[in-house]
């Protein structure tokens, strides 16, 4: 799979049966809905989780394309204070985080299920210096 952001081939990281597509060029991360499904073990919770990051009503079409369906991803403003956006497929195929965004986004996870994802991501990217 190629990176949504810079089109370089992404590598796949596997932790605790979950796979995460990671771009070494730009530090981007793609989490697809299937992986979230394994992580959360429940399709309803996955659907909910895919809706959760929306903190405001701001949704804008971005230039980036979903690696699964090739449709434009939507930009979601998840942290108005710091102006952080993440990209989400309109058909909920997955989420894309730019480098550094993840750490900030992790701080925003509040619900129990979201925390599960947060702790896993923290484990994988524990050495990730935001720079």
Partner 1 sequence: MWELIRANRRKSIALFIVMGLMLMVLGYLIGEAYWPRGGGVGGLAVALLVWGIWSLVGYFAGDSILLKSSGAKQVTPDVHPQLFNVVEEMKIASGLSHMPKVYIIDSPAPNAFAIGRTPEKCSIAVTAGLLAILNRDELQGVVAHETAHIHNRDIQFMTYAGIMLGTVVLISHMFLRSLWFSGGRSSRYRSRSGNRNSGQGQAIVMVVAIVFAILAPIMARLLYLAISRRREYLADASGARFTRYPEGLASALEKISGSKEDLKTANKVTAPMYIVNPLKGKGKKLANLSSTHPPITERIRILRSMAGGAGYADYQSAYEKVHGKKSSVLPQSALADKSAVPVLIPGQEEMAGAGQKSSRREFGDVVRAVNQYLFLFCAGCGLKIKVPPEFKKKQFPCPRCKTQIEVPLAEMATVGAVLESVDQGRQETQKDYDMVYRRKRSEWESFRCNCGKTIQLSPHFSGNYLDCSNCRRKIKIELPQI
Query: Which residues contact partner 1 by CB under 8 A?
Result: 1, 9-15, 17, 19, 22, 24, 34, 38, 123-128
Q: Min. distance of Cβ 77 from partner 1 in angstroms?
A: 26
**CA angle, corner 35, sides to 48 and 47, nearest 5?**
15
Partner in contact with 38, chosen from partner 1, Zn ion, none, beta carbon below 5 to 8 Å by kind: partner 1
Beta carbon nearer to Zn ion, 96 or 109: 96
Q: How far apart are CA 47 and CA 24, in angstroms?
A: 28
Q: How far apart are CA 24 and CA 2, in angstroms?
A: 11
Q: Looking at the chain, list the stretches that DSSP marks H as alpha helix, in order from N- to C-terminal side.
A: 33-40, 43-51, 101-108, 112-124
Q: Which of residues 17-76 bind Zn ion (CB under 5 A)?
A: 23, 25-26, 28, 66, 68-69
Q: Min. distance of Cβ 95 from Zn ion in angstroms?
A: 11
């Amino acid at each position: 799979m190629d990176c949504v952001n810079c089109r370089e081939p992404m590598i796949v990281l596997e932790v605790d049966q979950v796979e995460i597509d990671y771009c070494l060029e730009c530090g981007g991360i793609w989490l697809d809905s299937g992986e979230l499904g394994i992580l959360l073990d429940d399709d309803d919770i996955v659907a909910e989780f895919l809706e959760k990051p929306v903190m405001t009503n701001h949704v804008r079409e971005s230039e980036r394309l979903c690696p699964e369906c090739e449709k434009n991803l939507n930009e979601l403003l998840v942290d108005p204070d710091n102006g952080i956006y993440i990209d989400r497929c309109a058909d909920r195929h997955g989420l894309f985080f730019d480098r550094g965004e993840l750490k900030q986004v992790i701080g925003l996870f509040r619900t129990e299920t979201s925390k599960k994802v947060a702790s896993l991501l923290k484990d994988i990217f524990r050495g990730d210096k935001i720079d």
